[in-house]
Chain A
Amino acid sequence: MAVREVLKYPNDILKQYAADVTELTDEVKQIIQDLKDTMLDAGHSTGIAAPQIGILKRIITIDASRNKKCKENHGFMVMINPEIIEHSGTVTSREGCMSVPDFTGNVTRAERIVVSCFDENMQQTVLETSGFEAVLIQHETDHLNGMLFIDRVISKRTDLFKRKKY
């Protein structure tokens, strides 16, 4: 088990593009384990992306079931090279992120998405989801492209908030 430090903005790694994973090496397996351990260690976290622990590879782990209000979800998932291939609808929610701990922000994202990715065994899979889990995947996938939620806030005056608690 290895709980890694979660990088916080303005760390430059968070603004860089992560590279595709081409094979399931021991290093990749270790990254997946570290992501899972780090996510679970942060009691409130529902997802994490490899750049958040300083690794520029396209891997995220999510667990929407950790949000008690998310009734329909796929539980814990490893997503390697995730790509959103379809999306529809919009939903606005107030997001918080471990890498931007002092703020929350109103972000509008797709309400329903279809994602293509590889699982932890490097098997290709396609997943359709909506609601919180869809927002979660879009948020974590953004990290792989050097995007933070503050990049998606439309109005700094009305959509960005100082966090009151964490």
Chain B
Amino acid sequence: MDTHYYALSFVNTDCKGIVADTTKVLFDNGFNLADSSSTLLQGVFSMIFIVTNNKDYKEQEIKDMFKNVRSHMEVFKFDKKPEAKEGCHYSISVYGADKAGIVHTITKEIAKNNLNIIDLQTKITGGSPKVYIMMLEVVSDNENNENIWQEALKKTAKEINTQINMKKIEFYEL
């Protein structure tokens, strides 16, 4: 029996019961929850679910299932589970006085150096002046060019007057 994969995203201003209401629809319609990430972003609750089902639904059919759930929703259907890329993992943190373009400038350099971003989170402090903090995890095919791309990122971070820290993530098999 074929397994069909669907990515569902829900966005709503925070209120109690959103997760329970949403997952009830998934449960009632026979979806398996394969992976999820949900968090409150500036008062907006955002959920992304990767779900599977043996039934081959059209995207609109899934949207219709959630018509009574109070969220803005999108559906993305894919028939094959995407393969995760293997390689060396690095954590990168960038911070500095808040200004437009920090994420774009840094991620553009990351892309230019053929690194794959697998996680990205940003925070902004509430004080004055505001400080912008970005934390990423990136995957490189190997560690051969580590010095080259790290120097390039340091130079880019300096050009926009931000601090950058990069560290290889060690995997321990215990």
Q: Give chain A's interface residues, CB within 8 Å of chain B.
A: 44-47, 67, 69, 93-97, 104, 132, 135-136, 139-140, 149, 157-158, 162, 164-165
The 9 A-B residue pairs with the shortest CB-CB distance in the complex, in nearest-first order: A139-B174, A44-B173, A164-B84, A96-B173, A93-B170, A95-B172, A93-B172, A94-B171, A94-B169
Q: Complex Cα distance A68/B89, Å?
A: 18
Interface size class on chain B is 10 to 19
B145 within 8 A of A: no
Interface of A is mostly: mixed
Which residues of B (80-110) have their CB < 8 Å from a CB of A?
Answer: 84, 86, 89
B147 within 8 A of A: no
Residues of A within 8 A of B86 (CB): 164-165
B172 and A94 form a contact (CB under 8 A): yes
B35 and A135 form a contact (CB under 8 A): no
Q: Give chain B's interface residues, CB within 8 Å of chain A.
A: 35, 37, 39, 84, 86, 89, 119, 121, 169-174
A29 to chain B, nearest CB (A): 24
B74 to chain A, nearest CB (A): 21
Residues of B within 8 A of A94 (CB): 89, 169-172
A67 and B39 form a contact (CB under 8 A): no
Q: Complex Cα distance A109/B39, Å?
A: 27
B174 and A135 form a contact (CB under 8 A): yes
